[in-house]
Amino acid sequence: MTSILWFRKDLRLQDNPALLQLSQLSDDFIPVYILDDTLHPTEQLGISQRWWLHNSLKSLDQSLQKYYKTPLRFFKGNPQEILEQIVRETKSTGLFWNRCYDSHSLHRDKRIKESFQKTITVESFNGSLLLEPWKALKKDNTPFKVFKPFYNFYMSHLEIESPIDIPKNLRNGSKTLVGESIEKWGLTSANKDLEERWNPGEKGAHERLGEFIEGSINNYSYDRDFPSKNKTSRLSAHLTFGEISPHFIWRSLLDNSLLEREKEKFQQEIVWREFCYHTLFHTPSLPEDNFNKKFDDFPWADDQLLFQLWKEGKTGYPLVDAGMRELKTTGWMHNRSRMVTASFLTKHLLIDWRKGAEWFLEILVDADLASNSFNWQWVAGSGTDASPYFRIFNPTLQAKKFDPEGDYIRKWVPELTKLSNTEIQCPWIVSEEALKKRGILLGKTYPLPIINHEEGRKRALYFYQNL
């Protein structure tokens, strides 16, 4: 009996429920990955994620050949048509996968399951969340809209068992089925910046988790807010591609003697991710439409020049520019910087959150449709349990508080390196003569602020108050 394992956002062998169930019903299996070319534009991979996917799939292929002496078959096109062809060619009797929760995937998977279930065994599983969206509802069976009660529900309902081991009893289910060459997909080109900073794949995910638990999680609740300290988990991209499961991470936290405060703070981050997924499931239009319909009439500015300066990290606000340059170079941005840069775009510049979300999807290695859409709406104020409209980050005060030594700014905005710790967050307060001595000419070597903070704040408050 031969079955197909359809990999999607679960590029791992350990703690893979679809793989476990398949191993209990079949002896032979065919692992496949299908690059879906029917995706909605908001769900297509950006440049950094294409690089990550390429390397993650190669890593998974190596693991499959190591454990089962079977290659991962690669296909590109319409998943339903490709799976039908594979079933006919290999006479497979089973099809297994782990679920996705965006609207496109849900409708696609429903069609595929309906088309196959009368002739072969078709099963799907939860391989991405601690609790699926239909299992975390309020007493009136409606979804949570506020995080705190959602988190409390999770903490009282989670039952975390030991992670699933890699099954050992499977064999290559087809010696004749030939897929495509992943190299021909053109997903990636040499990128030294990404290669030096990231290690895609299941092995890299477990190494990152180990490093985090052994070191960075100590004092996590405090250090996580400082961009220069490199004390966040950096597991987000591994989670996005399913190279490690939240269930495995949670169990690892429980199995280690960590300070309860630090453990709980990181657990909150994991549950926040789940909150994003649940909201997307219950509100499929989240990537395109305002959750709060009052924002449908918000007078967003259509200023392409300001938007371009924001993307390039040339706003004249050093913390904002440092974050945007970190993003463009590494495919990642510290969470504090994400909040500040997103607030600056939507509230100082009054540019539609959807434009910022689209840019993040294009550049981030951890771009995740649920988290990206939810968090952009949270910052803009249009989402569920959103940041209050009067919360407008002052990028200078944020820099003084969370980059007091200027280390983060110096790394990503090197033209300001020679300024003192008290000057580097706001170079415009330094006299022209003092700047000139250090080789800085505002408006030439580094831009002047593209908007006055206080004026931008007052304008934003006016429009937000008049919604």
Strand intervals (E) in 127-249: 171-172
Q: Which two structure tokens, joined as six digits, stand for 232?
A: 């966040």
State residue 42's pLDDT score. 66
What counts of helices (H) and strands (E) characterise the chain?
20, 6
Q: Which fold has domain 129-162+202-282?
A: 1.25.40
DSSP state letter for 213: I
Higher pLDDT, 256 or 177: 177
Question: Between the CA of residue 166 and those of 151, 172, 456, what are the distances in Å?
Answer: 30, 15, 55
pLDDT tens sequence across 101-138? 999 999 999 999 999 999 999 999 999 999 999 999 99
Mean pLDDT of the chain: 95
Helix (H, G, I), strand (E, B) or coil at 441: coil
Position 452 scores a pLDDT of 96
CB 226 within 8 A of CB 406: no
Distance CA 369, CA 357 (A): 9
**Torsion sign across C-alpha atoms 53, 59, 60, 62:** positive
Calculate mean pLDDT across residues 149-161. 94
- Strands 94-98 and 2-7, by their bridges, are parallel
Alpha-carbon distance 367 to 359, whole Å?
Answer: 10
Rg (CA), the chain: 24
pLDDT score recorded for residue 289: 97
- CATH superfamily for 293-465 is DNA Cyclobutane Dipyrimidine Photolyase, subunit A, domain 3 (1.10.579.10)
Q: What is the pLDDT of residue 259?
A: 77
464 SS3 class: helix
Interval 2-51: pLDDT, tens? 999 999 999 999 999 999 999 999 999 999 999 998 876 667 899 999 99
User: Are the CB atoms for 349 and 307 separated by under 8 Å?
Assistant: yes
Type of residue numbered 293: K
Query: Read out DSSP for 91-104?
Result: T--EEEEE---SHH
Q: Is 95 left (phi over 0), alpha (psi -120 to 50) or beta?
A: beta
Using a pLDDT cut of 70, give the percent of the chain over it. Answer: 99
Active site residues: 269, 272, 300, 335, 353, 376
Q: Is the distance from CB of 121 to CB of 24 less than 8 angstroms?
A: no
What is the reported pLDDT for 390? 80
Tens digit of pLDDT for each residue in 297-347?
999 999 999 999 999 999 999 999 999 999 999 999 999 999 999 999 999
* pLDDT(399) > 80: yes
User: Where do you find CATH 1.10.579.10 in the chain?
Assistant: 293-465
Q: If we measure between CA atoms, which residue out of 33, 22, 29 comes closest to residue 124? A: 22
Indicate whether 190 pLDDT > 80: no
The one-character DSSP state at 422 is: T
In tens, the pLDDT along 405-443 reads 999 999 999 999 999 999 999 999 999 999 999 999 999
126 CB-contact burial (10 Å; exposed 0-12 / middle 13-18 / buried 19+) = middle
Are 103 and 284 contacting, i.e. CB atoms less than 8 angstroms apart? Answer: yes
Return phi, psi of residue 17, to 5°. -60, -35
CATH 3.40.50.620 placement within the chain: 2-125
* Distance, CA of 445 to CA of 430 (rounded, Å): 15
Per-residue burial over 423-435, b = 16 or more CB atoms within 10 Å of its CB, e = otherwise: bbbbbeebeeeeb
CATH 3.40.50.720 applies to domain 2-125? no
For the entire predicted model, the pTM comes to: 0.95
The pLDDT-based confidence of 55 (bands split at 50, 70, 90) is very high
What span, in angstroms and rounded, lies between the C-alpha atoms of 417 and 432?
Answer: 16
